[in-house]
Structures are given as C-alpha cells and as structure tokens.
Structure 1
C-alpha cells in the first residue's frame, strides 16, 4: 500500500457543516478506492498485439531456468554431498503438494469472489476495517491450524481451508489487473521460489536455519515501510518513494530468504519426525510456504504493473 498517499484528494465544499467535516476514516476509504482504481484497472491484454505468445513463454521459461542456475551456483557451493533420505523427500514432497493445493484454493476462491462482485464491495469498505478483519481472520485460522493435532483431520483441514479463503477474500482485487501481468507474476514467483527451494533442499543440513532472526527483523522493516504512506504527509514524496522501494524490493529479498529458511526448517522437522520427537504435520509446513508465495507474488504484480504504466507514458 505504498502508493496510497501519492495523489492529493480534492473534496467539494458542502454548505452543510456537519457533512463537510470529513473524518480520517473516510479519507482512508477514498484513498483505498483510488489506489485500486489507479493500479488494478488495467486494459485487457491481447497476445496478438504484443508479439508471439510462444516466444514470450519460451523467454519466460529461459529466464526461470537461468535464475535457478544462477542462484544454485551462488548460494549452493557446498551441497549436502549425499542423497536425500526417502523420509525427508516424502515429507518435502507432501509439503509442496499441500502448498500447491492451498495456492490453487486461493486462486479459485479469489476468482469466484471477484466474479460475484466481492472485489468492488471490498474497495468500498474502510481500509482500516479491511486490514483489521483480514489480519484477525488470517491469524486466527492460521494459529487454529497450527494448534490442531494432526490426527484431527476434519478440524485441521477445515481451519486450513478457512485460512486459504481468508487470503482469497483479500487478494481478489488483484484480478482487476491484466491477465498477462498476473500470469507473468505467477511464472516469476514459481521460478524464484523453485530455485530457492532447490538450494535449500540440496544445501548442507541446517545451513540456513540461522536466518530466522535476521529475517524477522527484515519483515518488521518491510511492514513499517508499507504503513509509512498512511502515516506520513503526502508532501514527503522522496520518503514515500524510499518506503515503496523497501516494500517492493526489500520484501522480495526478505520473503525469498524466508523460502530458503522454511525449506531447511521443513527438512529439519522431517528428521525430528522420523526419530519420533515431533508429529508429522505437512499442513502446518505448507502454510509457511503459502505465505512466502503470496508475499512474493503480490510484489511481482505491483512491480510489473508499475513498469507497464511507465512504458505507456
């Protein structure tokens, strides 16, 4: 939301003094509406008018493959030097399967909500109310899933589904964006997370688990930069530009690091589960990767949308 305070809003004078006193919440709601109008109402995309679609897909695939190779060469010079045990591989594969299923639920639910008009209604709500309710729903269902015993399948998967639906309800306005941008953002996100996950899976055991503390500090900085436009005056243009860069590019770095950390944490939990120290719980593991995917995807969409807007000027 680093773009909310960039455009001043003009309010018409009203002879009624009671109605002319616009509250801070009303201003925030108008800012929320205007931000979505500017950033998510993009014209439709036609593949025939933007080059050969096959060439663009091949270019994207080559970019993803090159990124995976580069990341592996830079961060994975010292591999574990042994074949991954079957139990760890099975645990990791089950986690990836649940992560993909969760992302699929979010995508289908977001599209359904968008087609039903939910996105338009969401834009008319007070932004602070949206943030508060979405955080409460997400955190509540997430911790409910974490604390439910793995053997209680019905309750655990119900809470997990509720968590995914809460994410879909908040992310549905992204569907105002061009389908081409969403597709490219999805491809780049899969490529980025896939290459980083490969590094985490083949690196030495527990090599990157030390990243947990620094990454939490990074998340705090990124979160503060995201709320800065709602706090700082609109005249602080340079400060807002810096906060937007931290939110976008700093967020990519932080949640890319979390992907690396989470994959190594999953393998660590797999070894503990094999020894009987903890219960196998791939649903809990998948939530961490889903959050990494969502945060990277949102920033990819914003960056691609900004670049498309700059190219048209």
Structure 2
C-alpha cells in the first residue's frame, strides 16, 4: 500500500513544470526609443579622423574594463555557491547524525553480509535512476513530452497508475532466481517512470542538475544515519509514514478538484505537497535503509531470499519523490528572482 501512494502522484507536478515562453527580448526591441542627436537634421557635421580615432579607443577601453569585473564576479559567485552548498551538506550530515544517531550499533559495526547486501541495493538504485534519466531524455527529444502534455491529466494519471503499479508489483512478485523476467519487469518499471517524468526536461538543465545534487546529498546523509544507527531503531516509522504519505498524496490531488478561486487552500495544499513531502520521503529513506539491513539479516539466516532489485525499487521511489519536489522548489525560487 505504501508503494502505491509513494510514486504516481508526482505526475500532477510533472505536468505543471513547463516554463512560459518569455517575450522580454521582443518587448524590449519594440519599446526601446531611438536616440537622436539634436544637430543631426539641422546641422550635420562630418567628424574628423582624429575624433573618430579617439571615440574608437574610448569605446574599446570602456568595453574592456566593463567585461573583466563581470567574469571575475561570476567565478566568485560560483565559488561562494559551492562553498555554501558544501557547508550546508556538511552541517546537515553532522546535525542529522547528532540528533537521530545517538545510539549506534552495538555489534561492532556492519557485518560483511549486511554491507554487501546494502551495496548491491545502492548499485541497483543508481542503475535504475540512470535508466530513468536516460530514457526520460530520449523520450523528450523524440517529442513524447509534448504529446503527454496535450493529453487529458486524468488519462495520464490512470494509465500511469496502471503501468507503474503493474510493473512494480510484477517485479516484486517475481522470484530473484528468474533473472530474465525479473530484470525485464524492473526495466519496464524504470521506463514507465521515465515516461511520466519526461516533462521535467522542459526545465533548465542547470536547475535539474542542482535538484539532483541536492537530492543525492539529502538521501546520502539520511542513508548514512540509517546504516550506522542501532539495529531496527527506525522500523517503527512505517505506520506514521504511511499516514503522512496519504496526506501528501491527497494534497497533490487537490489542484484537480479544488477550484482556482480558493487560493489560500491551494497555497496550503502546495506547501504540504512540497515541504511535507520532503519530510515524509526523507523519513521513508531512513526507514527503507533500515529495512534493507533487516532483510539482509533474514536472508543470511535463510528466512527470505536475497533480492536487492526489490529493495532498490523503494529507494528509487524515495529519490523520485524528493527530486520532483526539489525541482519545483528551485523553479519557484527562480521565478521569484
């Protein structure tokens, strides 16, 4: 049930990410008045060669002196952003570790089997996210995003639910020993996510790269806490997180049923969708990492089969939901500037 609620409702946000075409250049071209000299018509004067030479030198000197500080200021701003990002990431990692990870493991560290199982899960998660990114870019270049944007949102939501949930549960129900069917359904699941997320490619590549970097930093710091925390410390979060994701999912569907005149209600639902969703899926990342380690211990005792593909699906859903919200938050901040 949690997997059903955790992914498909990102569609409603993905379909709203198309930026409006700007007409600033045309407007500035047509409204800029032409500057005329007062003596142009009544008293034309032919400039001398020495005066033209001085004007040329002054123009060149002025342009040269104006461009140099601009390049220096851009490089300085880039360094400041990198330093700020590194500082925020480091402070977040230390803060989360101090607040949520006061009780560390009591077994002397992570056993080799758990470490191997967790590494396999992270490897499949990275491969799945890479497949989604490449497939979304390819579909966007082939015009899929335009056709998807022109389709009725309810049809997209219905078909997306069927395709996403069908391939996901088909992959989870397949035995890990059946490699061909297992990875075929897993690949179909990733392609389905790419089909639904391809409209995000309308956004600027720099904005998408920043959102991806922030998502990796957020999930990486939380996963570190989950991997080094006491065994089964955060497995109790499953129930509260399921209730939270239900609220977030309903807030994501609010723009489809709430009239546009209820601006205050839509503002609150959007905040719940964005910031409440970040908190909920950050908690799911913590829960999923500890669940992976719990399943590793069960697989080592022979209770269940080792299946990192199924484990990676949950982390992929966490990444997608956090990434979509990061993109929307960065897009809103860019429009405010």
Q: Normalized against structure 2, the TM-score is what?
A: 0.78
Shift of 1:54: 4.7
Aligned residues: 277
Aligned to 1:255: 281
Change (3 A) 1:144 1:198: same
Shift of 1:167: 0.3
Larger radius of gyration: 2
Aligned to 2:101: 76
Shift of 1:50: 8.4
Shift of 1:234: 1.2
Change (3 A) 1:37 1:197: closer
Q: Is the CA contact (8 Å cut-off) linking 2:15 and 2:199 kept in structure 1?
A: no
- Any idea what SS the aligned residue of 1:258 has? helix
Aligned to 1:16: none
Q: Normalized against structure 1, the TM-score is what?
A: 0.84
Aligned to 1:269: 295
Shift of 1:57: 3.3
- Distance in structure 1 (CA, Å) of the matches to 2:18 and 2:130: 26
Shift of 1:33: 11
Aligned to 1:63: 88
1:209 aligns with 2:235: yes
- Distance in structure 2 (CA, Å) of the matches to 1:207 and 1:76: 9
- Any idea what SS the aligned residue of 2:227 has? helix
For residues 71-92 of structure 1, give each alpha carbon's deviation from its aligned partner in whole angstroms, at most 9, with x where no partner exists.
1111111111321000000000
Query: Where in structure 2 are the equivalents of 1:73-222 lying within 5 Å?
Result: 73-81=98-106, 82-222=108-248
Q: Is the CA contact (8 Å cut-off) linking 1:60 and 1:187 kept in structure 2?
A: no
Change (3 A) 1:247 1:126: same
RMSD value over aligned CA atoms?
Answer: 2.2
1:229 aligns with 2:251: no
- Distance in structure 1 (CA, Å) of the matches to 2:121 and 2:239: 23
- Distance in structure 2 (CA, Å) of the matches to 1:300 and 1:86: 34
**Structure 1: stretches of 5+ with no match in the other structure:** 1-30
Shift of 1:63: 2.3
Change (3 A) 1:50 1:200: farther
Change (3 A) 1:119 1:49: farther
Q: Is the CA contact (8 Å cut-off) linking 1:197 and 1:260 kept in structure 2?
A: yes
- Distance in structure 1 (CA, Å) of the matches to 2:178 and 2:279: 36
Poorly superposed stretches of 4+, deviation over 4 Å = 31-34, 47-50
Q: Is the CA contact (8 Å cut-off) linking 1:67 and 1:191 kept in structure 2?
A: no
Aligned to 1:51: 74
Shift of 1:179: 1.2
- Distance in structure 2 (CA, Å) of the matches to 1:187 and 1:72: 20
**Structure 2: stretches of 5+ with no match in the other structure:** 1-11, 24-69
